[in-house]
Structure 1
Amino acid sequence: MLEMMRKNGLTLATFALGCTAVVALTHNLTQSTIIEQEQAQLLRVLDELLPPESHDEPLFDHCVMLSSESFLGTREALPVFTAVKNGEPQSYAIEAIAPDGYSGEIKLVVGIKADGTLNGVRVLNHNETPGLGDKIELKKSDWVLDFNGQSLQGEEDPRWAVRSDGGQFDAFTGATITPRAVVKAVHKVLLLVNQQPRLLSQAPACGESL
């Protein structure tokens, strides 16, 4: 009886170890695929927000890792790409997090001209409700295009809110939290460029921060 229990215990332990190994391998393979997909998406977004004609130097030569929870919505350092033409910065593509989405964090890229005018906004990653909050994706709706050409008229610009809060941006029926979070995050990035541009110039280069 004791011998049988030992055999059963050994069998269960072996099975558990095997399952753990399979789960770990699947996670590693999936994680690698996810990273590759996110990088490919980032390249597409950069091409949209900082098109080739906006710079004559490689974007990755002008990439810094910025840490600023108050402006970027996270303690994690996020990349900022600068479009440089004729030796002068023309625009920025700044990754940011909207931490207060309905289903968690929403990762954005905000394109801003050096004069503080928005080139556009794109969503990199989110877990918002399909059919409701996912309308922040350009492939789901054109809502995000409302940011194009927008700017700030002072820090307390009342336009930077959804309409139900007295602002100019539409909300989604049944999903006000999601657009509210995105508008708030974009507003903070605009404040960064308008009020603290030195943070962009003082941040370490992407390679140096690794």
Structure 2
Amino acid sequence: MKDNIKLGLILLLITGIAGFLLGGAYEITKAPIAASVASDKQTAMKEILPDADKFSNSDVNIKSNAKILEVNVGTKGTKIAGYAIKVAPKGYAGPIETMVGISSDGKVTGISILAHTETPGLGANAPEPAFSNEYKNKPTKEDLEVVKVVPKKDNEIQAMTGATITSKAVTLGVNDAIDFYNSSLKGDKK
């Protein structure tokens, strides 16, 4: 009995110390991780909206649309150059955080995959330019569609080989951003 109590106290001491060290490591790394995430977001927004020279979080109401995580306004001087809209559609292995750029003249200017857990070698290829560049200069007048052959229409995106679910998920996210732009942002050109 005394041995059990002694072992229990030792285990409690070890887990207490481990918990304390883990909490300390979290506090030490929290700020650098947040800074890295913010830097990655700024880089992604500049990449997908190259005409904008400044980005700010929009005060537009996104609470009514659960598919939209964040809206950032890209400005050039005092004029709105476009919007960087963050979405996270569900892919094959989990959410695919995507930043979608839409210019104020109604074109998708590009996408940037911020985070994903897709299958290596298949869906994990979504950030590669061979796939992600397909979204550049796509219209916002109609939904984009995923096709398995070379696209024939302006609104078609060719699926990645072996990753149709990921291709459709990214395209769904882009369509969600387009729908939000058309319903809530179009015409807000200040």
Same fold (TM over 0.5): yes
1:121 counterpart = 2:111: yes
Identical aligned residues as a percent: 24
Choose 142-151 or 27-36, whichever is displaced more: 27-36
For residues 85 and 34 of structure 1, do their structure 2 counterparts lie closer, same or farther at Cα, with a shift above 3 Å needed? closer
Question: Alpha-carbon deviation of 1:123?
Answer: 0.7
Question: Alpha-carbon deviation of 1:135?
Answer: 1.1
Question: Alpha-carbon deviation of 1:125?
Answer: 0.8
- RMSD between superposed Cα atoms in Å: 2.9
Rounded Cα–Cα distance in structure 1 between residues aligned with 2:88 and 2:180: 14
Task: Tell me which of 111, 129, 133 is aligned to 2:123.
Answer: 133
Task: Give the conservation status (yes or no) of the 8 Å contact 2:49–2:101.
Answer: yes
Rounded Cα–Cα distance in structure 2 between residues aligned with 1:16 and 1:54: 50
Rounded Cα–Cα distance in structure 1 between residues aligned with 2:37 and 2:137: 26
Q: Which residue of 1 aligns with 2:87?
A: 96
Rounded Cα–Cα distance in structure 2 between residues aligned with 1:37 and 1:85: 25
Q: Secondary structure at the match of 1:43?
A: helix
Rounded Cα–Cα distance in structure 1 between residues aligned with 2:122 and 2:35: 27
1:197 counterpart = 2:185: yes
Q: Which residue of 2 aligns with 1:59?
A: 55
TM-score (norm 1): 0.74
- The residue type equivalent to 2:169 in the other structure is A
Task: Give the conservation status (yes or no) of the 8 Å contact 2:49–2:84.
Answer: yes
1:175 counterpart = 2:163: yes
For residues 182 and 90 of structure 1, do their structure 2 counterparts lie closer, same or farther at Cα, with a shift above 3 Å needed? same
1:18 counterpart = 2:17: yes
Rounded Cα–Cα distance in structure 2 between residues aligned with 1:103 and 1:151: 29
1:5 counterpart = 2:4: yes
For residues 137 and 104 of structure 1, do their structure 2 counterparts lie closer, same or farther at Cα, with a shift above 3 Å needed? same
Task: Give the conservation status (yes or no) of the 8 Å contact 2:49–2:102.
Answer: no
Question: Alpha-carbon deviation of 1:40?
Answer: 1.6
Task: Give the conservation status (yes or no) of the 8 Å contact 1:38–1:124.
Answer: no
Where structure 1 has 5 or more consecutive residues not aligned to the other structure, the ranges are 202-210
Question: Alpha-carbon deviation of 1:30?
Answer: 4.8
Where structure 2 has 5 or more consecutive residues not aligned to the other structure, the ranges are none
Q: Which residue of 1 aligns with 2:97?
A: 107
Rounded Cα–Cα distance in structure 1 between residues aligned with 2:112 and 2:10: 51
Name whichever structure is richer in helix by fraction.
1
For residues 54 and 106 of structure 1, do their structure 2 counterparts lie closer, same or farther at Cα, with a shift above 3 Å needed? same
Rounded Cα–Cα distance in structure 2 between residues aligned with 1:20 and 1:145: 45
* 1:159-195 Cα deviation digits (max 9, x unpaired): x121149972111222111110000110111111112
Question: Alpha-carbon deviation of 1:86?
Answer: 5.2
- The residue type equivalent to 2:147 in the other structure is R
Task: Give the conservation status (yes or no) of the 8 Å contact 1:112–1:119.
Answer: yes
1:163 counterpart = 2:147: yes
Q: Secondary structure at the match of 1:19?
A: helix
Q: How many residues align?
A: 185
TM-score (norm 2): 0.81
Rounded Cα–Cα distance in structure 1 between residues aligned with 2:60 and 2:105: 21
